[in-house]
Amino acid sequence: MDAKTAASVLQAPIQSLIDFCKKEFSQIRGLNKEAAKLAASLDTIQKFLNDAEARTIPGDAVKSWLKKLEDVAFDADNVLDELNYHLLSKQIEHTETMMEKVLSCCSSSFNSIARTRNMALKIKEINENLESINKEATDLGLVGRLADQPALDIATLETNSYTHDPIFIGRDDVVSETVDMLTNSITTDEKSVSILAIVGMGGLGKTTLTRKVFNRLKNGTRFGSHIWVHVSSNFDALTLFKKILKELTRDQVEGESQQEILSKLEKALKDKTYLLILDDVWNEDLSEWDDFINSLLGVSCVKGNAIVVTTRKMAVASIVNPLHTHELKGLSKEDCWSIIRAKTFGEGNVPSDFEAIGKSIARRCQGLPLAANVAGGVLRNKPEEKWRSIEEKWLSPDEGGDNITNILRLSFDNLSLPSLKKCFAYCAMFPKGSQIMKQELIEMWMAEGFLQADGRDDMESVGEKFINVLLHNSLLQVSNRDYFGNVESCGMHDLVHDLACSVSSSSNSSRVRYKTLEEDESSRIPKEMAKSLRTLLLTSEGDISDINFSDFESLHVLRVDSQVIKELPSSIQKLIHLRDFDISKTEIEVLPDWIGEFFHLQTLRVDSRWLRIGRKLPSTIKYLINLRHLYIDSRVELPMGIGRLTSLQTLKYFPVGDQNGCKIEELGSLNNLKGELKIRNLERVHDKEEAGKANLFKKSKILKLGLKWGDDREGERNDEDVLESLQPHSDLRELEIDGFNGKRFPLWTQKMSVGDAPQGSWVILNNLMSLTLINCRECEEIPMLGQLPNLKSLVLWGLRNVKCINSSFYGRVNKDTRIVFPALERFELKWMAKLAEWAEIEISDGSEVKLFPRLQHLSIDNCGQLMSVPSHVSSSCLECLSIFGIGVECLPADWLLSNSETLSSLRITNCPNLREISDRWGEEESEGRSFTITSLPIFPRLTYLMILHVPKLSLETVDAMRRLQVDGYKDIDP
């Protein structure tokens, strides 16, 4: 790392230390003078760093100075953090009438005068070291320089989440050809596994293209299983089989022999076909490939499987014996300019001066979409002179190296905040090809002190902004999104990962700060390395009982990923700096009481299936006063007094208890909760007043709310009163109500709007995207839902007392509202035992109304009494239609006719009364038409058809059906 980069990366921890001293320790008797001196020394250091970043200085001498500075800065951080731990322990002692023994012992060690003196001596030593470093900076010619106050580029944060993906231009034909080959050409091949290779240099877009292909096929039914494995340089058959099995089962794979893993793999695949992506393969050893592929062939004898191999080397492609090899070419300079233009100006017009410069920059991208995406992120919202400067200086041949390296480095240099650069450099710790969960990464950044609240935003919100900036600059890439398009996980291109490694602060110091210990590495970590480690990710499957964690005296983040571990070593108790602790992937069943000594802890992940065996968290959890994120299994009971943890933001599950300290009123003080909250055992809430103490209406950051009643009831039911008082905030995105046994929903649920008490009005839940009503057995009417503008998913299960879905279901239809369910994409009606009629829309003036215009998935199951359904749906994008166990005699042809171009899956089963598909709905018989399945228009995208146990429906076959894969009815097969 050069001195300029090192200086910019070091600014973040130094600034944190300055803030630390000024806010926390200036008032401590006996330490105030040394703390003030420390703050002054650090402030001087900060100004020297500003100068080091702003100008070019002889490298080796400054690098040596920066190395010393980093070591002293981290030592200072540990000392101050230990002192803060002491203050927190005393704060807890003051709030308790009697401390638990484990905590009082801890506190007593700090209450002595000797401890304060020891702290003063340590700070004095750090001050002396900093004085020496300050003098050395002056000797090097550094001067104190006030830094400009940079800010995040807010304009880049105001776009929707979908713009974070790499802009994909110039490859659509290749995607379609590849999908067609995997769907058709390989299907006719007699091999059990057919292989397709995609070859191209780094940055050419192999992975992005393959992911487009993968996701398109994943939405269809061509393959029974879809598996993505990043390979990289380590091509080990056993490791690959473990990764494949983990993708299939979503469970952690224990360290077993290859034979045992293959046996489990055989069970997981069963009789299903599979699509396997082996991304970024480097292996050129034919024997290693043969060992892998021959073992895989032995796992499944089903034909029609496909493997796609991406690689930078043609030699790798040749040994995998592919059916077809696609050598990916570079994009044209016009396509590169299109990517830059889309990234910088979106769909807006481009001023001519910008266009000329942009095309010149596009030519320097050498046909690499990664380079074009990164360049576009750098140029976004920059003035013309900055574009010209980048073209002339940063991307000139005089800069040395290839253009992709220059562009990537330019993107890093363009990051406005030192703390953001530190966050990027931190990602070098993850192995290449890692899928990094977004929320976990933010929590780790926070634990390391890289994120500082700025008055408007808390640390997590700052972390979200940092993620967005890195995505916009293509320094991170989206790996996965949830159903609603929110980013769940990210990855790094290999070339970007190389950049992160080169700028990582660990390169500047002999001390290793951040370490991922993988399964092929020894579990032994030298004591000298352990002493300086701040983040340790244990992903090996070895036992950790022999690790002395007291050697890891600086550890802030500890994540353990091994099912071998069944008990926490007691030495972990010594990690007083710990802020992020994750044991969710272990088999630990009980947490020790000393977990309550981690006063600094911000994130605790214990949401494993094993911990629920113990059922309860220790009572000492209530002492974790800095805890912001608590991840638990839905069946684990919370200890008494969880309401004391007022910093909590994440608490996905809250089980209502019977005892004081466990009742629903504990939620009342947790005003910072955000994201998802599922409250269960609501049958234990006695009345509406008690329910109101949860203050859900005031918790505006809760976006996903689940309300669940249990089946074990005694005495009078008060579900309607309780649900009335659990009215959420108007910004809610997802709502699930399970087990509600009232006959009528309260008014806010019926109207899907909430009362705004100060204004005395009703506010519609306009942001609601998902509604699920499950097992509301006594309910007689479905709420009014048709006018919710953003509702994408509607699931109605087990409403067994509802007899009719009447016109109120659609909401008010008038001249101003002509679209009903405007955003709905998925609709499921299941287990509605008494449902007999699904009514048409009532339109008084006879004008046209659009119903379900965006519906993609419609499923009606186990509604045996249902005899009437709406004749018309406006959707022309229906992909999946599933009808099972309903009583109708005639299915509206419009459901199929209007979706003939999009339907990919059609299932009609167990419908004993169904005799025809007709468009004569409500008309004279002579005016209508009746269709057989095979006399309907050809469905070009249909890949799955099941017609089973429908004895009265005509099933004649025609030649057009030869394009379909037909399951479940042998007479359909031509």
DSSP 278-296: EEEE----HHHHHHHHHHH
Q: Which helix (H) or strand (E) holds 535?
A: strand 535-538
Residue type, 59: G
CB 947 within 8 A of CB 883: no
What are 464's two structure tokens? 């979200």
Beta bridge partners of 890: 916
What is the torsional sign of CA 245, 249, 251, 255? negative
Beta bridge partners of 232: 281
Residue 115 confidence (pLDDT):
62
DSSP, residue by residue, 680-745: E-GGG--SHHHHHTT-GGG-TTEEEEEEE--S---S---HHHHHHHT---TT--EEEEES---SS-
What are 33's two structure tokens? 């003078």
Residue 647 confidence (pLDDT):
94
How buried is residue 371: exposed, middle or buried, by Cβ count under 10 Å (0-12/13-18/19+)? buried
Q: How far is Cα 630 from Cα 651, in angstroms, rounded to an integer?
A: 6
Q: What angle do CA 421, 423, 428 make, to 5 degrees?
A: 100
Residue type, 835: L
In which residue are the tokens 């890692």 written? Answer: 434
Beta bridge partners of 931: 917
Q: Which helix (H) or strand (E) holds 124?
A: helix 113-139
CB 843 within 8 A of CB 822: no
In which residue are the tokens 């466990």 written? Answer: 662
Nearest by Cα to 503 from 414, 614, 407, 422: 422
CB 798 within 8 A of CB 779: no
DSSP, residue by residue, 193-250: EEEEEEE--TTSSHHHHHHHHHHHHHTSSS-SEEEEEEEET---HHHHHHHHHHHHH-
Q: How far is CA 569 from CA 332, 524, 546, 549, 573, in A?
A: 58, 15, 8, 8, 8
Nearest by Cα to 879 from 854, 861, 860, 910: 854
Residues 776/793/791/845 CA torsion (nearest 10 deg): -80
Beta bridge partners of 676: 704
- Sites in the chain below the pLDDT cut of 50: 97-112, 154-163, 398-401, 506-508, 522, 921-926, 957-974
Tally the C-alpha atoms within 13 A of residue 466's C-alpha that lie toward its C-beta. Answer: 31
Q: How far is Cα 15 from Cα 419, in angstroms, rounded to an integer?
A: 9
In which residue are the tokens 């019977």 written? Answer: 658
DSSP structural state of residue 922: T
Q: How far is Cα 395 from Cα 336, in angstroms, rounded to an integer?
A: 15
The length of the chain, given as a count of residues: 974
Q: What angle do CA 21, 23, 26 make, to 5 degrees?
A: 60
Helices (H) and strands (E) in the chain, counts: 26, 35
Alpha-helix residue ranges (DSSP H) falling in 346-458: 352-364, 369-379, 384-389, 403-413, 418-426, 438-447
CB 635 within 8 A of CB 610: no
DSSP, residue by residue, 298-314: HH---S-EEEEEEES-H
CB 718 within 8 A of CB 754: no
Residues 6+ apart with CB under 8 A from 668: 643, 693, 694, 695
Residues 311/316/320/321 CA torsion (nearest 10 deg): 110
Residue 666 confidence (pLDDT):
95
Q: How far is Cα 652 from Cα 952, in angstroms, rounded to an integer?
A: 49
Nearest by Cα to 181 from 208, 217, 230: 217
How buried is residue 94: exposed, middle or buried, by Cβ count under 10 Å (0-12/13-18/19+)? exposed
What is the torsional sign of CA 472, 477, 482, 488? negative
In which residue are the tokens 């796992």 written? Answer: 299
Residues 6+ apart with CB under 8 A from 450: 12, 419, 422, 423, 426
CB 752 within 8 A of CB 764: yes
Q: What is the pTM of this model?
A: 0.86
In which residue are the tokens 């949401």 written? Answer: 607
Count of beta carbons in the 10 Å neighbourhood of residue 846: 6
DSSP, residue by residue, 834-883: T--EEPPP--SS----EESTT--EEEEEEETT--B--S----S---EEEE
Beta bridge partners of 883: 860, 908
How buried is residue 639: exposed, middle or buried, by Cβ count under 10 Å (0-12/13-18/19+)? middle
Q: Which helix (H) or strand (E) holds 94?
A: helix 59-95
CB 677 within 8 A of CB 700: no
Query: Distance between the two ends of the chain, CA-based, in angstroms?
Result: 67
Residue 970 confidence (pLDDT):
39
Segment 739-764, tens digit of pLDDT:
999 999 999 998 888 876 555 678 88
Q: Which residues of 261-270 are buried (b: 16+ CB within 10 A; e: fewer)?
A: bbebbeebbe
Pairing of strands 804-805, 675-680: unpaired
Nearest by Cα to 611 from 657, 568, 654: 568
